[in-house]
Amino acid sequence: MMELFKEIKEIIINLFAFDEKEVTQDAHLQVDLGVDSLGLLNLATAINEKHGLELLIDDLMELESIGELVSLVDSKINA
């Protein structure tokens, strides 16, 4: 799952121009990083396109951390 975290971290950095040190497994997308609902939609779209998934913005809004996002994506990839 570390490889998946690196992929998602790269997507987040590219979408939002965050510093690499800010994007940790414990960081909360909305609270810590300030990602708004449009940003979450863009993130869901980018992950969906890369992995052929159907993540919804509601899925991302309920997450507490990027680590939870990685687990969610991993579970959908391996479903």
What is the rounded distance in angstroms from the CA atom of residue 69 to the CA atom of residue 79? 15
What phi and psi, each to the nearest 5 degrees, are found at residue 26?
A: -90, -10
* CATH code where residue 54 lies: 1.10.1200.10
- What is the model's pLDDT at position 25? 96
Domain count, the chain: 1
Q: Which of 74, 78, 76 is nearest to 2 (CA)?
A: 74
**pTM of the predicted model over 0.75:** yes
Q: Are 69 and 29 in contact (CB under 8 A)?
A: yes
Q: Is the dihedral of CA 22, 70, 53, 7 positive or negative?
A: positive
Residue-number span of the structural domain to which 17 is assigned? 2-77
- What is the model's pLDDT at position 1? 85
Collapse the DSSP code of 39 into the 3-class scheme (helix H, G, I; strand E, B; otherwise coil) and give the result: helix
